[in-house]
Amino acid sequence: MTTITKAPLDRPASTKLGAPKEKLASRTAAMIIMGVSTLYFLVPIWWLFISSTKSREQFSSTAALWFADFNLFTNIADLIAYNDGVYLKWMLNSILYAGSGALLGTLFAAMCGYALAKYRFPGRELIFNVVLGGVLVPATALALPLFLIFSQFNATNTFWSVFLPSIVSPFGVYLARIFAASSVPDELLEAARLDGASEIRTFFSVSRRLMTPALVTIFLFQFVAIWNNFFLPLIMLRDQTLFPVTLGLYTWNSQVNQIPEIRTFVIIGAFLSIIPLIIAFLSLQRFWRGGLGAGSVK
Amino acid sequence: MTTQSAVVPGVKPRRSPIRHKRAIAFFIVPFAALFAAFYLLPIGWAVYQSLLVVERDGTFGKPVEVFGGLTQYILVFQNEEFWASVGRVLLFGAVQVPVMLGIALVLALLLDSPLVKGKKFFRLAFFVPYAVPGVIAAIMWGYLYSPNLSPFAAFTSEVDLLSPSTVLWSIANVVTWVYVGYNMLIIYSALLALPSEIFEAARLDGANQLQIAWSIKIPLVAPAITLTAIFSIIGTLQLLAEPQVFRSFTSSVSSTFTPNLAVYATSAVPNVSLAAAMSVVLALATFALSFGFLKFTQRKAD
């Protein structure tokens, strides 16, 4: 289980002694597959970037995969100015929904998973099994009943109607439990108890630190889940100043046929909206890569 | 430590009392309360709502919701559009999930083999699409499929990728593009966790990389593949954002193209009780399918 906290980045080069060399043909074939795959995964994003730098006229009249006049910053300025800056509002909403939702969600999932792993109490297995069942319930199946419940309290079309349901992460509890069981030694907790530290203080000062790779993983994946969430805001929200960026771009894109000039904004908006997630993933990769395999360790 | 259990003579020995009750409550209650409010309650509510029917006194009477037993479920089972949408996503899943996981497995094995250089770059390049939300990916590919705006217009103007017969597979490509890298990384992490001595021995015995991958690596990472398969199955039945976006690119995607779109369209009618019944059926089907798949693979492994 040590691979959870410290997944090797690459397996150390094997001792080449005696091992027969791979054939040139196999190596070439492997690199061709990797090259073609890279094109498949990156060309669409490259196209989105190139298109974001073009003016509306040049978008359809110049070569689609290479630069024309570099209009990226004018486009961004136009996008931000459009419709009283509603795009910026959407981005901020997304950051708020996903950022604070994932932060709170990670905290609660970590505390629950930790308690399930480190304490014995009646109902422990029951809680864990119910939560595990929750992992298998599709989130979209909950969207409509959530709408019905919130409408009982006249609370649809509010920030909370999207924010509160997205805090809950059963998969986070599952991951936290696995990690806590393997990375927080019982002896350490006993030592902390002997030192007179309270259970809660021990969690926040000692165990939390040991669980950091797990927490970053849970945070990132919940952040992505909330950032990508579409059905819940689609069903809950009418007021477009509450929209997350995905729902906002969706509504713009469905108006392109009526308002053709909006197409430029859809494309530049789509490009800008994926940058925060790419940056988050790249900068935190040493954490989540170790955590990713944890769910599959039996 | 306050609840130290001491054996009191004369009292029947019983289970030691729970230690740290308050700390446990502090850790569990926040999640449990939210889970109850936003998972369990909605599930219960959906079941309750699905048992109601709307009745009116005469044509112009005020509509009232009354208990209708399984009426809505009978309507769901008679609803041809709903079952057509279920059939569509099952077909989609039967093709897309194996293709996607196959590609993910091949790429993970290649990354793990000594055949490939520049692993760090490829690992990141393949994972980048996962950072693109389904809605955005669908908008982007919508333009790439477009007959006149696409950079591949020479191809897309000849082959209509948005026609009724092809659009399902065009959507499958979007989903595959987003999730291959994610699934690849899960499998790759499992491969990295394997001790390398196993392969060294096989290598010295003259096995080539293909044989090592097929007879050693794949069986050992089977649990990781099962995990990715279950999440993919859940995802397939929930398909919503991509087809919903494609509705603005083509008329080939109907308002009941996938089960979730059918739920959305039915609730907008508004016929919430029928939509709730559809949600319940869909959730049960998802649960049964992923649970069944889990049991099936476990039995095979024994």
How far, in Å, are A221, B106, B187 from residue A289 at the CA level? Answer: 12, 19, 11
In whole angstroms, give the CA distance from residue A200 to residue A193: 11
Check residue A50 and give its pLDDT.
93
Residues of B in contact with A203 (CB under 8 A): 23, 27
Query: Does residue B169 sit in the same domain as residue B43?
Result: no
Residue B179 lies in a domain: yes
Model confidence band, residue B243 (pLDDT cutoffs 50, 70, 90):
very high
Residue B195 lies in a domain: yes
Query: Does residue B52 sit in the same domain as residue B105?
Result: no
Asked if the Cβ–Cβ distance from A296 to B223 is below 8 Å, we say: yes
Position A2 pLDDT exceeds 90: no
In whole angstroms, give the CA distance from residue A155 to residue A148: 10
Residue B84 lies in a domain: yes
- Please tell me the least confidently modeled range out of A28-32, B206-210, B257-261: B206-210
User: How does the average pLDDT of chain B come out, rounded?
Assistant: 88
Check residue B148 and give its pLDDT.
82
Reduced to 3 states, what is the DSSP secondary structure of residue B220?
A: helix
Q: What is the pLDDT of residues B48-66, one digit of tens each?
A: 999 999 887 777 778 888 8
Query: Looking at residue B18, what DSSP letter applies?
Result: P
Q: What is the pLDDT of residues B141-153, one digit of tens each?
A: 999 998 888 888 8
Check residue A19 and give its pLDDT.
47
Domain definitions of chain A by residue range: 78-296
For every residue of chain A, which 3-state class applies, written as one string?
A: CHHHHCCCCCCCCCCCCCCCCCCHHHHHHHHHHHHHHHHHHHHHHHHHHHHHCCCHHHHHHCCCCCCCCCCHHHHHHHHHHHHHHHHHHHHHHHHHHHHHHHHHHHHHHHHHHHHHHHCCCCCHHHHHHHHHHHHHCCHHHHHHHHHHHHHHCCCCCCHHHHHHHHCCCHHHHHHHHHHHHHHCCHHHHHHHHHCCCCHHHHHHHHHHHHCHHHHHHHHHHHHHHHHHCCHHHHHHCCCHHHCCHHHHHHHHHCCCCCCCCHHHHHHHHHHHHHHHHHHHHHHCHHHHHHHHHHHHCC
Would you call A213 an interface residue with chain B, using a CB distance cutoff of 8 Å? no
In whole angstroms, give the CA distance from residue B61 to residue B66: 14
Position B41 pLDDT exceeds 90: yes
Check residue B279 and give its pLDDT.
92
How far, in Å, are A37, B132, B194, B199, B240 from residue B169 at the CA level? Answer: 19, 19, 36, 38, 15
Check residue A4 and give its pLDDT.
40
Check residue A18 and give its pLDDT.
43
Query: Does residue B53 sit in the same domain as residue B81?
Result: no
Would you call A151 an interface residue with chain B, using a CB distance cutoff of 8 Å? no
B72 touches B276 (CB < 8 A): yes
Position A1 pLDDT exceeds 50: no
H/E segment holding residue B4: none
Reading the block at residue B206, the tokens are: 């003259």
Domain boundary (B35, B53, B71) is at B71
B5 or A125, greater pLDDT: A125
Residue A65: what residue type? L
A270 touches B139 (CB < 8 A): yes
Q: What is the pLDDT of residues B195-236, one digit of tens each?
A: 888 888 888 888 888 888 888 899 999 988 988 998 898 889
Residue B13 lies in a domain: no
Model confidence band, residue B294 (pLDDT cutoffs 50, 70, 90):
confident
Domain boundary (B44, B71, B98) is at B71
- Per-residue pLDDT, averaged over A89-99, amounts to 95
Asked if the Cβ–Cβ distance from B234 to A138 is below 8 Å, we say: yes
Would you call A94 an interface residue with chain B, using a CB distance cutoff of 8 Å? no
Query: Does residue B174 sit in the same domain as residue B285?
Result: yes
Query: Does residue B88 sit in the same domain as residue B105?
Result: yes
B249 touches B145 (CB < 8 A): yes
Position A20 pLDDT exceeds 80: no
Q: Which residue of A has its CA nearest to B139?
A: A253
In whole angstroms, give the CA distance from residue A265 to residue A262: 5
Q: What is the pLDDT of residues A222-246, one digit of tens each?
A: 998 999 899 999 999 999 999 999 9
Minimum distance, in Å, between the CA of residue B93 and any CA atom of chain A: 15
Reading the block at residue B133, the tokens are: 């939300």
Rounded (10°) angle between helices B21-35 and A86-118 = 140
What pTM did the predictor assign?
Answer: 0.86
Would you call B301 an interface residue with chain A, using a CB distance cutoff of 8 Å? no
- Please tell me the least confidently modeled range out of A73-77, A145-149, B294-298: B294-298
Check residue A8 and give its pLDDT.
45
CB within 8 Å of B127: residues ≥ 6 apart: A281, B181, B182, B184, B185
In whole angstroms, give the CA distance from residue A280 to residue A75: 24
Residue B6 lies in a domain: no
Model confidence band, residue B158 (pLDDT cutoffs 50, 70, 90):
confident
Q: Any idea what the CATH number is for the domain that residue B166 is in?
A: 1.10.3720.10
- Per-residue pLDDT, averaged over B179-201, amounts to 88
Rounded (10°) angle between helices A86-118 and A245-253 = 140
Q: What is the pLDDT of residues B101-128, one digit of tens each?
A: 999 999 999 999 888 889 889 998 999 9
Structural domain that includes position B57: 21-71
Would you call A3 an interface residue with chain B, using a CB distance cutoff of 8 Å? yes
Query: Does residue B43 sit in the same domain as residue B98?
Result: no
Terminal Cα distance for chain B, rounded: 43
In whole angstroms, give the CA distance from residue A138 to residue B290: 11
B153 or B249, greater pLDDT: B249
Check residue B55 and give its pLDDT.
84
Q: What is the pLDDT of residues A176-206, one digit of tens each?
A: 999 899 889 999 999 999 998 999 999 999 9
Asked if the Cβ–Cβ distance from B125 to A266 is below 8 Å, we say: no
Ramachandran class of A157: left when φ > 0, alpha when ψ lies in -120 to 50, beta otherwise: left
Domain boundary (B41, B71, B101) is at B71
How many structural domains are present in chain B? 2
In whole angstroms, give the CA distance from residue B223 to residue B242: 29
Check residue A252 and give its pLDDT.
95
B181 touches B128 (CB < 8 A): yes
User: How far is C-alpha A62 from the geometric centre of its chain's CA atoms?
Assistant: 35
CATH architecture of A78-296: Orthogonal Bundle (1.10)
Residue B110 lies in a domain: yes
**Residue with token string 């990781």:** B224
User: How does the average pLDDT of chain A come out, rounded?
Assistant: 86
